[in-house]
Structure 1
Amino acid sequence: MAGARRCLLGSWLSVGVLLGPLLSGVLTLEPVTTAIAIATASVLTGYLSYPRFYCGRLVECCEENAYNSTAFKEDLENKLIGQHLARDVIFRAVTGFMNTENSKKPLALSLHGWTGTGKNFISKIIAENIHEKGMSSKYVHLFVSTMHFPHNNLVNLYKDQIQSWIRGNVTSCPRSIFIFDEMDKLHQGLIDTIKPFLDYYEQIDGVSYRKAIFLFLSNAGGDVINRVVLGSGKRREDLELQDLESALSVELFNNKDSGFWHSSLIDKNLIDFYVPFLPLEYKHVKECVMAELRHRELMPDEELASRVANEMTYFPKDTRMFSDKGCKTVTTKLNLHL
């Protein structure tokens, strides 16, 4: 409701601008015309000030309770290919967080795996199910390490900028989403600047950060995940979070090529879940091709999907079990055939 109230103030101001000329001439009209004008103004005022109309049609508002767990689950099941672990963990984590009236801290998820396994895609699904405009929403903020924080000698400046950006945007919308991509390329120590926002504080300088969501995306840990998958002796579909999460957190904390190297976020247990994205098999690559065909509104073609999947490279070389690029290049390879 807080977001709706913020919208209403803007709607009344907009209505005043719109109806000012109309009402200014009311006194010069005949009684019947005056009554019609006033009635029209009243209806129009009520219509435009209704939160759903104003927020949905005129501007984007911060709506804190728009989450639908059923729709989110369907999106994960229908769109995310080959990631049973990530799908289940993220659904339970996000749903539990969104349904908790007074959460103790923001939700912090760290997503790990080789390129093309679905980390960015699932971030997009999360954003779309919390804010109507998804990644285009002004309440969803994406930071790419190599683009936004390229220079090592400017780390202190970046720290100030990140803190100011988070503080300002959470003040505007408590349900803000912050995505840090390419964590494996982030300068050491930089991510620790957001520790106060992830901690168990009720407020910091009068602002509560407990409804915000932080997502960290990284290729770091991908090798650990692959080793576990190949050496566990379990079927890929039988792997559980406990088979991977502990090894992931240790690897990230001790890996100098990770933005989480000796990070206080790990040391103080402020990351809620380390979510592994498993390497994708040949059958998953075929599913990605079929999904892309549906996205382009083309007829499903098993033979075409097989041809594209066969052109991908796989590891280990002797068994060709997993795609080393996931589904990353499926779109470009499909273009060659189409």
Structure 2
Amino acid sequence: MAGARRCFPGSWLSVGVLLGPLLSGVLTLEPVTTAIAIATASVLTGYLSYPRFYCGRLVECCEENAYNSTAFKEDLENKLIGQHLARDVIFRAVTGFMNTENPKKPLALSLHGWTGTGKNFISKIITENIHEKGMSSKFVHLFVSTLHFPHDNLIHLYKDQIQSWIRGNVTNCPRSIFIFDEMDKLHQGLIDTIKPFLDYYEQIDGVSYRKAIFIFLSNAGGEFINRVVLGSTKRREDLELQDLESALSVELFNNKESGFWHSSLIDKNLIDFYVPFLPLEYRHVKECVMAELRHRNLMPNEELATRVANEMTYFPKDTRMFSDKGCKTVTTKLTLHL
């Protein structure tokens, strides 16, 4: 019921104010008219005091228990292409966090890999399974480094703004989600301003941040991930998180272009998972074409998928094993063929 109260504060008081004039006039009506008026008031009271009617049709509410792990798992399995490692790690991380009634700290996920491998896409899937409106939800907040924090000389202002935004939005909805995109283009030291919100504090100035989710997206570490995949004796599908995560965090900490250079978030172990997104192979690109055809309500076309995939560029040049843009330009190239 906490979520319902958050959705409709003072709902009974509001209903009383709304229906007061109606009920006060009932006494002056004839018996039949009086009965109709009372019945109407009862129905109206029922609708207005019912949280789902208010939240679902009138406004978007901060839902405490809207997460469905089965639906989330199906979305990851059916929509995310070629990222078995990220899929498994993120499912376990988000499900464990959402099913914990009183988490000790917010969930912090750092997603890394080359462009077009699915980092933004999986962020979209996460938001859609926690808030009905997904990325359009007023409880999901996207910060793009080059758009929201472009100027070197305004870092102090940005720090104040970030803290104010997080404080205000978590006060409004404990299940707020904050996504920081283009971390590799973020000014050095700026991300450390959110350290207090990611730490193990029960409250800060009367506000608990423990149910919030922070997601960091970055191309930094992509080349490192590619080198590991190319040099590994394991098959791509057999790679596990422990094969990459620890070395990836060190790579980010020591890379001045990562956005996490000497960051206290890494130093104090406040990021829960460093999730590597592996380079996509030719077959994955074909799957992306097929998925886009289905998205456009078109019939799957193997020949068309092959033509589009053949137009993509791959590395290393001698083996053409991995797509150097992932599936990023699939939509544009498919449009040309259609």
> Cα offset for 1:258?
1.1
CA distance in 1, matches of 2:328, 2:93: 26
Mapped to 2, the partners of 1:16 and 1:124 lie a distance apart of 40
Distance 1:10 1:57 in 2: 18
User: Which 4+ runs in 1 deviate beyond 3 A?
Assistant: 10-25
- Cα separation, 2, equivalents of 1:60 and 1:201: 29
When structure 1 is superposed on structure 2, of 297-306 and 10-19 the one drifting more is 10-19
| Distance in 1 separating the partners of 2:291 and 2:20 | 52
* Larger deviation, residues 195-204 vs 4-13: 4-13
> Counterpart of 1:28 in 2: which secondary structure?
coil
* 1:101 Cα offset (Å): 1.1
Question: Closer, same or farther in 2 for the Cα pair 1:12/1:59, shift >3 Å?
Answer: farther
Q: What is the alpha-carbon distance in structure 2 between the residues aligned to residue 205 and residue 328 of structure 1?
A: 43
1:245-268 deviation line (CA, Å, top 9, x unaligned): 011101100001111000000000
TM-score in terms of structure 2 length: 0.97
Distance (Å, rounded) in 2 between the aligned partners of 1:277 and 1:20: 59
| Alpha-carbon contact 1:85-1:240 (below 8 Å) kept | yes
Deviations 1:148-207 (A, max 9, x none): 000010000000000000000001100100000000000000000000000000000110
TM-fit CA distance, 1:17: 6.5
Q: 1:169 touches 1:176 (CA, 8 Å); kept in 2?
A: yes
Q: Deviations over 1:266-301 (max 9, x none)?
A: 000000000000000000000000000000000110
Deviation at 1:20, TM superposition (A): 5.3
Matches for 1:180-329 after TM superposition, within 5 Å:
180-329=180-329
CA–CA separation in structure 2 for the residues paired with 1:187 and 1:201: 26
Q: Is the 8 A contact 1:170 1:212 kept in 2?
A: yes
**In structure 2, distance between residues paired with 1:200 and 1:179:** 20
Distance of aligned partners of 1:10 and 1:303 in 2 relative to their CA distance in 1, 3 Å threshold: farther
Instruction: Give, in whole Å, the separation in 1 of the partners of 2:82 and 2:111.
Output: 15
Q: What is the CA RMSD across the aligned residues, in angstroms?
A: 1.3
How far residue 308 of structure 1 moved from its aligned partner, in angstroms, is: 0.3
Deviation at 1:3, TM superposition (A): 2.2
- Distance (Å, rounded) in 2 between the aligned partners of 1:227 and 1:112: 14
SS at match of 2:312: coil
CA distance in 2, matches of 1:104, 1:168: 21
Structure 2 counterpart of 1:93: 93
Q: Alpha-carbon deviation of 1:35?
A: 2.0
User: How big is the shift at 1:22?
Assistant: 3.6
Task: Report the alpha carbon displacement of residue 14 of structure 1 after superposing the two structures with TM.
Answer: 5.7
Distance 1:274 1:217 in 2: 10
TM-score, normalised relative to structure 1:
0.97
Tell me if structure 2 keeps the 8 A contact 1:8–1:50.
no
1:131-163 CA-to-partner distances (Å, cap 9, x unmatched) read 011000000000000000000100000000000
Structure 1 pair 14–282 and aligned structure 2 pair: CA distance change class (3 A):
farther
Count of paired positions: 338
In the aligned structure 1, how far is the partner of 2:81 from the partner of 2:304?
18
Provide the C-alpha distance between the structure 2 equivalents of 1:146 and 1:103, rounded to a whole number of angstroms.
32
Deviations 1:44-100 (A, max 9, x none): 111221111111111111011110000000000000000000000000000000111
The CA distance in 2 between the partners of 1:284 and 1:13, in whole Å, is 56
Is contact 1:139–1:173 with CA below 8 Å preserved after alignment?
yes
Deviation at 1:36, TM superposition (A): 1.5
Q: Unpaired runs of 5+ in structure 2?
A: none
SS across alignment from 1:9: coil
Unaligned runs of 5+ in 1: none
Q: Which secondary structure does the structure 2 equivalent of 1:209 belong to?
A: coil
Alpha-carbon deviations, 1:304-330, whole Å to 9, x = none?
000000000000000000000000000
Distance in 2 (alpha carbons) for counterparts of 1:9 and 1:38 = 25
**Distance verdict in 2 for CA 1:231–1:56, change over 3 Å:** same
